[in-house]
């Protein structure tokens, strides 16, 4: 079945970096883009950015520009999200989500990973 499986929970100190993986299966990886969405404890969803699995084009949320990098490895059908200079307010569950429609602009996210808890604490 179509699924996205993410890496496990992380605990990081302020100023450090974290890299979360998202392994896709059950579909042609390069046919769909992947977005990353995070959710702070007790808060709503926040779109972080998007990467095309076809050509690695990216588009990041303005507030995270300069701190986030999204990449893909087509040989393993895996997407990655790296966030640098971590702060306490980066503590959140990080989700990867597949574009419902391939080819760039999508209308929704139809498959979600199970989420990865990232805790930033000294």
Contacting residues toward another protein, per CB under 8 A: 35, 37, 44-47, 50, 59, 61-63, 95, 97, 100, 105-110, 112-115
Cβ neighbourhood burial of 67 (10 Å; 0-12, 13-18, 19+): middle
Q: Whole-number minimum distance, CB 47 to another protein, in Å?
A: 4
- Which two tokens mark 105? 């602009």
Residue 13 vs 108, nearer CB to another protein: 108
**Tokens at residue 113, please?**
């990973």
Toward another protein, which CB reaches closer, 42 or 75?
Answer: 42
- In the complex, what is the shortest distance from the CB of residue 25 to another protein, in angstroms, rounded to a whole number? 16
DSSP label at residue 29: G
Min separation Cβ 77 and another protein, Å: 19
Q: 72 near 79, Cβ under 8 Å?
A: yes
């Amino acid at each position: 079945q179509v699924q996205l499986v993410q890496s496990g929970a992380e605990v990081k100190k302020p100023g450090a970096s974290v890299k979360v993986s998202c392994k896709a299966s059950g579909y042609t990886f390069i046919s769909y883009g992947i977005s990353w969405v995070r959710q702070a404890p007790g808060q709503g969803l926040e779109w972080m950015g998007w990467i095309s699995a076809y050509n690695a084009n990216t588009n990041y949320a303005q507030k995270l520009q300069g701190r986030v990098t999204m990449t893909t490895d087509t040989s393993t059908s895996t997407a990655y999200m790296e966030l640098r200079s971590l702060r306490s307010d980066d503590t959140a569950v990080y989700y990867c989500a597949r574009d419902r429609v391939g080819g760039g602009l999508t209308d929704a996210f139809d498959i979600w990973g199970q989420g990865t808890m990232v805790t930033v604490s000294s």
